[in-house]
Structure 1
């Protein structure tokens, strides 16, 4: 009798684990994809601390029939037509409990400036045309309802910007804001670019 009860308990736990695994692959990816969409601003943070710039961040869905993709564009608020970063993110399952935000560069990115307003402009492209930034994916885990946290793997994201050897990203995503701390380090682990005291806080507009 005891062994039968133990077996039934084991079976129930196994079924719950399988269900959670399915949720990560389906509902959580869809939820994260939705939460990340929108226009964000670090204006409030820049007014409180002059060491942070006023940055506009746009993240909008593209290729919705091909997966969970987002076009990402960042610029200083006073130079919206001159973005300093253009990327495409792809959200996909990394493990039973995590989601990877894979980072891609665009061929001819200047052709897509401001196209966050017109996702159909990306129909001329295919995911196979993108250039993956190997080792730069951010691996995210759900920590509360519609709240995700994660980072890049240690020293895996190569970078040569301003004398860096590698870059790191730490990210927190909520329904109302995104906190992103991007930094570059040299071979001796000395920080050579990025915010010193913490991540940029982007409030959803």
Structure 2
């Protein structure tokens, strides 16, 4: 049973050798904090270093977030893809993420499901303008209760989901929680699933996944 190590981040939360990653520029935005949070989330990350140092608790995961739909006026939309280094061509998690400031002046990251078969969008980070030009926010399904609320913390951000609001049936869970920390060159994400008795049934148990920013889009 390895669910305790799998399903790191969607945070949003895998190749045997590290691939390079390409710089990505975000469009200007009047809200500097939202712009900064989106910038820190954007790019190519992986957990290789952590998995090598603690293979009992962590897998080698690649996490990619790329901007999409730059003409949308509210916040920043991103395509998110997570895959094991051993099966990069078949990501185990694909989402659309929307980072913006809500009506309560909180910075939040909403999580959306893609329509149809998500694997049809695998590798969408290579040419996001082409891949997602036929989709829009109206085509997505919001994961109610699974938004991460972010707040500034020094030079970065910290955030989490709220209570037991994010429902999940994965691995016998009743709900899921997610904690996120953003700092320079590092995204830490700790996703966990809990049953009705409050017992953890999936996710890392030793702490969050530490995704190191590689600075360029994957080249392989």
**Which residue of structure 2 aligns with residue 103 of structure 1?**
111
- Structure 2 contact 91–119 (Cα < 8 Å) conserved: no
- Structure 2 contact 90–119 (Cα < 8 Å) conserved: no
State the distance in 2 between where 1:80 and 1:203 align.
17
Aligned CA distance change for structure 1 residues 182 and 110 (closer, same or farther; 3 Å) = same
Q: How many Å apart are 1:25 and its aligned residue?
A: 7.3
- Residue 194 in structure 1 maps to residue 203 in structure 2: yes
Q: Give TM-score scaled by structure 1 length.
A: 0.85
Residues 73-98 of structure 1: per-residue CA shift (max 9 Å, x gap): 00001110110100011011136663
**Which residue of structure 2 aligns with residue 136 of structure 1?**
146
- Structure 1 contact 25–93 (Cα < 8 Å) conserved: no
Q: How many Å apart are 1:26 and its aligned residue?
A: 1.0
Moved more, 185-194 or 61-70: 61-70
**Which residue of structure 2 aligns with residue 83 of structure 1?**
91
Say which structure, 1 or 2, has more relative contact order (CA 8 Å, 6+ apart). 2
Q: Give TM-score scaled by structure 2 length.
A: 0.79
State the distance in 2 between where 1:25 and 1:187 align.
43
Residue among 46, 61, 65 paired with 1:59: 65
Moved over 4 A (4+): none
- Structure 1 contact 98–142 (Cα < 8 Å) conserved: no
Between the two proteins, the alignment pairs up a number of residues equal to: 181
Q: How many Å apart are 1:27 and its aligned residue?
A: 1.1
State the distance in 2 between where 1:73 and 1:138 align.
17
Q: Which runs of 5+ in 1 are unaligned?
A: 1-23
**Which residue of structure 1 aligns with residue 134 of structure 2?**
124
- Structure 1 contact 165–186 (Cα < 8 Å) conserved: yes
SS in 2 for 1:124: coil
- Equivalent positions of 1:1-205 (< 5 A) are 26-50=31-55, 51-66=57-72, 67-94=75-102, 98-108=106-116, 109-120=118-129, 121-145=131-155, 147-205=156-214
